[in-house]
Structures are given as structure tokens and as C-alpha cells.
Structure 1
Amino acid sequence: MRSYCIRTATPDDLDDARSVMLDIVYEDFGTGYVPRWHRDIVDLHQAYVAPARHTLLVAVDERDGTVAATAALDSRGPAHPPNPRHLAERYPSGRTAQLRRVYVRPEHRRRGLARRLVDELLDFATADGGYRAVYLHTDPAVPGAEAFWRSLGKSVHDEREEPGGGQGIVHFEVPLP
């Protein structure tokens, strides 16, 4: 059985973390890199490492030292547009911890890594003391994503229920511990 170390990303982890993220957006999402959606992936240090209230976590496979999974948190609420206005108002920047880039390489899935990473992000948000809500959105077309987030939080808006289906995204709130 493999063992993993969950920790805050170091500068030496950033290239491997970026590789995990880009592989997921190309292979799982099928979109490839889209600047307006994935700009943070290019400069992980500026997006998640440098800001005091942000973090980037990695799950490192202790067998070979490779990054198997990532998870990030920042203090930016959902922007309107492209997200619905009521979500931007409900989850304002500065008071909202947004979970991002919770990605696990396929060969490391079904081992509890995503849940462990999210637990660590929630602990980080709680320790910060300034966050009042935890928000995220997910693409339900990604296998397992919607069920995973439903097991941790509640759906606050499902764009598939809008006329025309919106972007097809499901928005969630996860309770702070």
C-alpha cells in the first residue's frame, strides 16, 4: 500500500504541482489550458504561495517523491460574470475561502487523498480566522466530482437547472469545522 505525505507546497514542488493540474485540465476536463479559467496554474507561487491567506497543498507519494495530488485555497470569491451575481454577493472576496485545484492523478485515486487534502484546507481556513464561508464550484461532467463534493457540502446553485444550462457548473458551500 502506498503512503502519502500531505504538506504545504515548497518552491521545489511547483513544477510537479503544475504538471498535475495541467494534465487534469487536458485529460479529465478536455478543455486544455484556458487562460481566463486557469491563469493561476501558470504562476502558482503568486496565486497560492506568496499571499498569506492562500495556500497550495500537495500529496507526495513517499515511494518515489512525486506529486500525486494538489489542492489550493484562496480568498477570492466567485467572480460575476461568469458566475451568477447572487453567488458573488453571497461569497465575497476576503471573507470567502475558495477551494481550487483539488486534483488527483488517475493512478492515485480512490485512496482518500482528495478528502485528506480538503480537510487540511478547511483547517487552514479555520486557523486564518477571517473566513466566514468556504465555496467551490465543480464540473459535474468529471467522473466522481459531483458525488465527492456532495459528500462534503451542499449545493447552493446548479447551473444545469437554468434555462439553457448555464455553464453546467455546480456551486457548493462546505461547512467550516
Structure 2
Amino acid sequence: MRDDYSTRYSIREATTDDLDSARAVMLDTVYRDFGTGYVPRWHGDIIDLHGAYVAPARHMLLVAVDTLDGSVAATAALDSRGPAHPPNPRWLAERYPSGETAQLRRVYTHPGHRRRGLARRLVGELLDFAAADGGYRSVYLHTDPGVPGAEAFWRSLGEVVCDEREVTGQRVVHFEVPARVPARTPVAAGART
């Protein structure tokens, strides 16, 4: 019998109490899956999750919490910073400018909780958040295709806009994910449409 994972995990906006556990999931990912370990210029946001994702109004950090033990099983973040040049190609930074671009970041699932739909649920919530913001014109992300499952996951949700393996030899693939249309506000009774 398959577990019903939709009720086992609670998806919510991260609180101050979640930040240490979320950071642990993220650091485990950069050490285990990326093989790079912590690199300050790439991963500084992981150390200051509050400043990067919790405090800014247009940013968001979500966690998936295992209701069986209260642990953070997965993370996902969104901010309004587009890809920087350098290290990214200039045309990419121009196509996805800061302020107008919702960048998906830190979509990581602890190995013991993978293949349960958590990343897809988290990304869906972030796309809803970006749509509700009203100021984002595009949704962008980059991923390391060497991480098992990462490239296939993002290809299922978005379109490749630059595969640096073909251009620079770097192990980075850039994606655009279709933005969601903001939900319509119900029209007040008697109001004209």
C-alpha cells in the first residue's frame, strides 16, 4: 500500500523556528548532491535565510514539514533577483532583470523524503506567490544537471533557455517556468464586469 504523502507533509511559509532545520537541508544538499560544499559567493543566502527570504516582502521561503516528527523535509525559495552577469551570460541577465524576475532557489528535498511530490508542491506554491505579487513578468531558475533527477524535474515544469554545457562547458542549465495568471478577485455583488 502506498503512503498518502499529501497528508503526511505540511507545506508552509518558513518561520524563524524553521530556519536552522531548513539551513541543514540546504547545506546537506550542497555538500552531498553538488559536491562543492559551502561556497560563500554562491551560497551566502543559506547562512542568512531570514535576510534573504523571510524579511523581504517580495521574497518567500517555504518548508515541507514531516507531520510524523516535525522535521523539515524539503525547502524552496523565491526572490526578486535575476541572474547576475558575470558569472552568467550578459544576455541572460538582461532577459531576466532583477525586480521583474521571480527566481526559484533552494528547491531541495532531504534524501529520505524524495519521490513524494514535495518539490512539485513547493514550486506550485511559489508560483502562486509570484502570481499574487503582480510585479513579476517571468520565472527563472538555474540548476546543476549533475544532481540526480534535477534536470528531468525542471524540464517537466519549464523550458531550457540556456544549457551552458553546450556554450561554456559549465554544468549549469537555465530554465524559464511559465508564470501563473493571478487568481481573479471575486466581483462584488452588483458590481459591473
Superposed counterparts of 1:101-116, under 5 Å = 101-116=106-121
Tell me the alpha carbon deviations over residues 37-86 of structure 1, each in whole angstroms, 9 at most, x when there is no partner.
Answer: 00000000000000000000000000000000000000000000000101
Structure 1 segments of 4+ aligned residues over 2 angstroms from their partners: none
Where does residue 35 of structure 1 map in the other structure?
40
SS at match of 1:60: strand
Superposed counterparts of 1:113-152, under 5 Å = 113-152=118-157
SS at match of 2:41: helix
SS at match of 2:98: coil
1:98 aligns with 2:107: no
1:176 aligns with 2:186: no
Where does residue 63 of structure 1 map in the other structure?
68
Any gaps of 5 or more consecutive residues in structure 1?
none
Any gaps of 5 or more consecutive residues in structure 2?
181-193
Question: How far apart are the structure 2 equivalents of 1:176 and 1:88?
Answer: 18
Question: How far apart are the structure 2 equivalents of 1:93 and 1:120?
Answer: 21
1:44 aligns with 2:45: no
Q: 1:4 aligns with which of 5, 9, 15?
A: 9
Q: TM-score, normalised by structure 1?
A: 0.98
Where does residue 77 of structure 1 map in the other structure?
82
Question: How far apart are the structure 2 equivalents of 1:156 and 1:146?
Answer: 13
Alpha-carbon shift at residue 168 of structure 1 (Å):
1.8
SS at match of 1:58: strand
Question: How far apart are the structure 2 equivalents of 1:30 and 1:169?
Answer: 14
Question: How far apart are the structure 2 equivalents of 1:22 and 1:122?
Answer: 24
Structure 2 counterpart of 1:76, which letter? R
Larger radius of gyration: 2
Question: How far apart are the structure 1 equivalents of 2:89 and 2:128?
Answer: 28
Q: 1:20 aligns with which of 18, 25, 32?
A: 25
SS at match of 1:98: strand
SS at match of 1:37: helix
Alpha-carbon shift at residue 10 of structure 1 (Å):
0.3
SS at match of 2:43: helix
Question: How far apart are the structure 2 equivalents of 1:153 and 1:145?
Answer: 12
Question: How many matched pairs?
Answer: 175
Question: How far apart are the structure 2 equivalents of 1:87 and 1:133?
Answer: 12
Alpha-carbon shift at residue 94 of structure 1 (Å):
0.1
Structure 1 counterpart of 2:175, which letter? F
Tell me the alpha carbon deviations over residues 11-46 of structure 1, each in whole angstroms, 9 at most, x when there is no partner.
Answer: 000000000000000011110000010000000000
Structure 2 counterpart of 1:119, which letter? G
